[in-house]
Amino acid sequence: MNFIFSDPGQSMQKLNLKDISQFVEQNIGIFHQKRIQSLDTLRLSQILKRKNPYLFKAKHVLTAEQIIRGIVDAHISSNEETVFGDWLEGLAIFINGKVYDGKKSGIQGVDLEFDDDGVRHIVAIKSGPNWGNSSQVAKMISDFKTAKKTLRTSNSKLQIMAVNGCCYGRDRKPDKGEYFKYCGQRFWEFISGNDTLYTEIIEPLGYKAKEKNDNFMKSYLQMINRFTKEFVNEYCDDDGDINWKQLVEFNSCAR
């Protein structure tokens, strides 16, 4: 995801909220473009294979449109969370660059690096606090350990603090032993020095939101109609009833 970054300022500069608004105006279109692109590349056969057909039968779903909206909305929700998480990561790096001269890290598993008060901070940025299972958390901790070794090859006395930063949510016990976990207000204050930033960034994020969402909804409704027509042709009998046997065979048959 290519963001338009301004040159970062010197260490610990006061954050100008106009800079955030300008960044959002220049870059929020990337998020909306990717929302529409995800619809343009979606295929009915792909999402039908990912979803549980028994669940629809158990919920007494009777129409093609109900099934289509259910599977498409689930796909969109998951995709948007990922895409917007990437976008917020770019915003966080931009803000940190303005305040602490931070930069996007080139080390695997680390998204942001910056220095403050003689300490090098290495940050893995996630959307929310419940982003991964135990194996994924273990991988992050391993990446932090590797990053520390890499950074200390040129300076063995370098103080390093590892942080899992989450753009929203809460975690009341941030000290995890091998790293810190800062969520929501704590995260945005950590990267900016501003304890109210987490609420101040809400307003700029709405830049042209209605216009962008109207464009998305046009593509969304066209796709719902197109997929519904395709589903009826493939998985409904002449009376209009869903052929559940055929649908389950497409989803699960080994042959």
pLDDT at position 11, please? 52
Rounded to an integer, the average pLDDT of 212-228 is 93
Of the candidates 126, 120, 232, 250, the one whose C-alpha atom is nearest the C-alpha of residue 182 is: 126
pLDDT at position 8, please? 42
Is the pLDDT score of 4 beyond 70?
A: no
pLDDT at position 207, please? 86
pLDDT at position 20, please? 93
> How does residue 1 score in pLDDT terms, banded at 50, 70 and 90?
low
> How does residue 6 score in pLDDT terms, banded at 50, 70 and 90?
very low
C-alpha to C-alpha distance for 49 and 251, rounded to whole angstroms: 5
Q: How much is the pTM?
A: 0.83
* Domain residue spans of the chain: 15-100+208-255, 101-204
pLDDT tens for 153-173 read: 988 889 999 999 999 999 999
C-alpha to C-alpha distance for 229 and 227, rounded to whole angstroms: 5
| CATH superfamily entry for domain 15-100+208-255 | type ii restriction endonuclease, domain 1 (1.10.3250.10)
pLDDT at position 253, please? 87
CATH assignment of 101-204?
A: 3.40.1560.10
Can you give 67-128 as a three-state secondary structure string? Answer: HHHHHHHHHHHHHHHHHHHHHHHHHHHHHHHHHHCCEECCCCCCCEEEEECCEEEEEEEECC
The token duo for 3 is 């963001």
pLDDT tens for 54-103 read: 999 999 999 999 999 999 998 899 889 889 999 999 999 999 999 999 99
C-alpha to C-alpha distance for 115 and 83, rounded to whole angstroms: 28
Share of the chain above pLDDT 70, in %: 95
pLDDT at position 13, please? 81
Out of 40-44, 138-142, 233-237, which region has the weakest mean confidence (pLDDT)?
Answer: 40-44
Of the candidates 131, 137, 111, 135, the one whose C-alpha atom is nearest the C-alpha of residue 123 is: 111
CA distances in angstroms from 83 to 48, 76, 87, 183, 189, listed in the order given: 22, 10, 6, 19, 23
The sign one gets for the Cα dihedral 177, 181, 187, 192 is positive
Share of the chain above pLDDT 90, in %: 76
pLDDT tens for 90-123 read: 999 999 999 999 999 999 999 999 999 999 999 9
What mean pLDDT value characterizes the chain? 91
Cβ partners under 8 Å of residue 215, min gap 6: 32, 36
pLDDT at position 208, please? 85
